[in-house]
Amino acid sequence: MYKPLLILTASLALSLPALSQAGAKEDFNEVYSKVESTHNQAGTYQWTTTANQLKAAKEAADSGDYEKALEMAEQALKYAEQSLEQRKQQQEKWPAVAIGN
Amino acid sequence: MRIAKVILVAVGATLTAPLALAGDTPEEDRKETVEYFQQKFPDVPLEEFVNGQYALDEDRRKQWESMSDFPPFEFAVAEGQEMFETPFANGKTYASCFENDGIGVRQNYPYFDTEKKEVITLELAINRCREANGEEPLKWKKGPIASISAYMASTSAGKKFDIEVPNDDALAAYQAGKEFYYTRRGQLNFSCASCHVQNPGNWIRADLLSPMLGQVANFPVHRAKWGEMGTLHRRFTGCNRNVRAVPLEAQGEEYRNLEYFMTYLNNGLPVVGPATRP
Amino acid sequence: MRKGLVSVCLTTLALTAMPPVYAEPTQADIDRGKELAFSRKDGNCLACHKIDDGKLTGTVGPALADMKSRYPDREILFKRIWDETQFNPVTVMPPFGRNMILNEEQINRIIDYLYTL
């Protein structure tokens, strides 16, 4: 009676590493495209820090290490978001420090 | 800064009746900028600001003067002259593209082309001249274009910058350049003004920060750090990188507008390019 | 008398909820802090500040000395390194924490070092 359940559990346990790797790849691709779009939205306010981090994340993904790639992409996303925030803030704040404003 | 503004408003009020709000026009910006730097550096004569850090520091100036017998840009000027005078495949030369055959015209660049509605820098004009005559454009940041630009600047030595803002499109380009100069960028969160308005005369490590007033007048430059000549847009790229901001395209719209704004502030100051910098 | 004061302090410490107490930094913490403060790719503090035996120091910011008497409150010093623009909007000092130039742990090591100056 318990046999099917046992088999199911066992097969799940066996496929878990592959599943998590596949999950990381999907997660990475999702975060990566989010970084790209945020980085693009930053326009002329892009950071080299983001660009370098994005490149390193891509390299990790190309070598198949999606766990590491995901971690790096998440950091890149933080950089990109901060650069976008800088763009929004600076467009309002700059006249306060300008000569002749 | 505030004092300068008050003085200007007071002077203006006595001279003209309906004065536009201070800082509304490029000319007001320029006057306030001059006032700001003269108050900051009362011992520096106005015309000296084009020499950047050498106007601010005696030791640096002495090192600079000791180099003036054999300036490192001389070769580039000679090379630039040769290229300038060598006809294109179609038999024409650069002279055919410029006013006064391209001699003594540096002080009018960049200018705003009211038909194309864009800022035309000297380097852009050089490459457009090539393309109009069936030649490949040169790379923007160093090499032949810097040499030709250096030669053309050398024929304009001492002429006073005379940049115009002819219409509203030009004013928009000027304002865009101004906004670029004052907005903080990069992970390090610096604007051009952070260093060159707020901190000229201060040192960042072994680098002495130059004042905004007079910047541009000395380009193209031979930098010891580069070991060769480079254009203004090469320098912009380096500045952006230093603050961890992704550099923009050399001769792209943003950098041309920036150059337009910066050069306008030099109106009345002499062309001193090519020059040398650390 | 001093002993008495110390014991009173210790008692108070034990009895009341104190703001975060920082463990005495080890020499390794302090050394790490100096390394982070001097390194060009990390704090690069010498670019603008004169510090200790640092070479080729900048003049943009004030010399960093007597830090414990100038910043008795560690939290405040931390916040100013994290984001000085919150204290002075026109400062040119990079917001080290906010812009993720340094992380929390790195800033704390730098403070360990600064407090020895």
pLDDT tens digits, residue range B28-54?
999 999 999 999 999 999 999 999 999
Q: What are the residue numbers of the active site of B?
A: 239
- Is residue C2 over pLDDT 50? no
Chain C CB contacts of A97 below 8 Å: 90
Using CA coordinates, name the residue in chain C closest to A94.
Answer: C90
Neighbouring C-beta atoms of residue B196, cutoff 10 Å: 20
B2 interfacial to chain C (CB closer than 8 Å): no
CATH of the domain at B172: 1.10.760.10
Q: Would you place residue A2 in the very low, low, confident or very high pLDDT band (cuts 50, 70, 90)?
A: low
Find chain C residues with C-beta within 8 A of B204's C-beta: 47-48, 58, 60
CATH 1.10.760.10 fits C23-114, yes or no: yes
pLDDT of residue C16: 47
> What's CA B19's distance to the chain center, in Å?
29
Highest mean pLDDT among A9-18, B4-13, B16-25, B239-248: B239-248
User: Which residues in chain A are closer than 8 Å to C99, comparing Cβ atoms?
Assistant: 82
The C-alpha atoms of residue C5 and residue B77 are separated, in whole angstroms, by 78
Q: Given a cut of 50, is residue C101 above it in pLDDT?
A: yes
Residue with the larger pLDDT of the pair B5 and B118? B118
In a domain, B62, yes or no: no
Segment B216-228 mean pLDDT: 96
What is the percentage of chain B residues whose pLDDT exceeds 70? 92
Omega before B220 within 30 of 0, i.e. cis: yes
Of B188, B194, B206, the CB nearest to C56: B206
Best of C90, C92, C93, C102 to mutate (most B CBs within 10 Å, chain B)? C92
Q: Residues in chain C, how many?
A: 117
Select the residue of A47, A97, A100 nearest B245 (Cβ to Cβ). A47
Q: C88 — contact with chain A (CB < 8 Å)?
A: no
pLDDT of B131 higher than 90: yes
For the segment B185-212, the average pLDDT, to the nearest whole number, is 97
**Mean pLDDT rounded to a whole number for chain C:** 87
Shortest distance, CA B269 to any CA of chain A (angstroms): 19
Which pLDDT does position B179 carry in this prediction? 97
Contacts of C46 in chain B (CB under 8 A): 205
Q: Spell out which residues of chain B touch residue C63, defining contact as CB-CB under 8 Å.
A: none
**Which value does ipTM take for this structure?**
0.87
B246 touches chain A (CB under 8 A): yes
pLDDT score of B94 more than 80: yes
Question: Phi then psi for B225, rounded to 5 degrees?
Answer: -60, -35
Domain boundaries, chain C: 23-114
pLDDT confidence of residue C18: 52
Interface check for A87 against chain C (CB to CB < 8 A): the answer is: no
Percent of chain B with pLDDT over 90: 88
pLDDT > 90? residue C66 = yes
Count of beta carbons in the 10 Å neighbourhood of residue B123: 28
User: Which domain covers residue B192, as residue numbers?
Assistant: 71-278
The mean pLDDT value for B74-89 works out to 98
Q: What is the predicted pLDDT for the residue at B2?
A: 43
How confident is the model over B147-160, as pLDDT tens digits? 999 999 999 999 99
Residue A9 has a pLDDT of 53
Mean of pLDDT over chain B: 92
Q: Is the pLDDT of residue C11 over 50?
A: no
Size of interface A-C (CB pairs under 8 A): 11
Q: How many A-B residue pairs are in contact by the CB < 8 A criterion?
A: 65
A100·B33 Cβ contact <8 A: yes
Asked if the structure places residue B12 within a domain, the reply is no
Decide if pLDDT at C8 tops 50.
no
Q: In this structure, which long-range contacts are made by residues B83-89, counting pairs with CB atoms below 8 Å and at least 24 apart in sequence?
A: B83/B144, B83/B147, B83/B148, B83/B151, B84/B148, B84/B151, B84/B152, B88/B130, B88/B133, B88/B134, B88/B135, B89/B133, B89/B134, B89/B135
The residue in chain A having the minimum alpha-carbon distance to the alpha carbon of residue B2 is A99
Does A97 sit within 8 Å of C90, measured CB to CB?
yes
> Has residue B42 been placed in a domain?
no
Q: Which two tokens stand for residue B162?
A: 């005379």
Q: Cβ of A47 and B29 within 8 Å?
A: no
Q: How confident is the model over C90-95, as a mean pLDDT? A: 97
- Least confident range of A1-10, B57-66, B132-141, C54-63: A1-10
The answer to whether residues B166 and A86 touch, using CB atoms and an 8 Å cutoff, is no
Q: Are B247 and B237 in contact (CB under 8 A)?
A: yes
Predicted pLDDT at A12: 47
Using the beta-carbon criterion (under 8 Å), do B184 and A86 form an inter-chain contact? yes
Asked if residue B22 has pLDDT above 70, the reply is no
Average pLDDT rounded to a whole number, residues A21-49: 94
Q: Which residues of B12-35 are buried (b: 16+ CB within 10 A; e: fewer)?
A: eeeeeeeeeebbeebebbbbbbbb
As a whole number, mean pLDDT of residues C22-34 equals: 93
Tell me the mean pLDDT in the region C18-44: 89
Give the whole-angstrom CA distance, residue B233 versus residue B179. Answer: 17
Q: Which of B16-30, B250-264, C18-32 has the lowest mean pLDDT?
A: B16-30
- Can you give the pLDDT at residue A3? 57
A7: confidence class by pLDDT, cuts 50, 70, 90: low
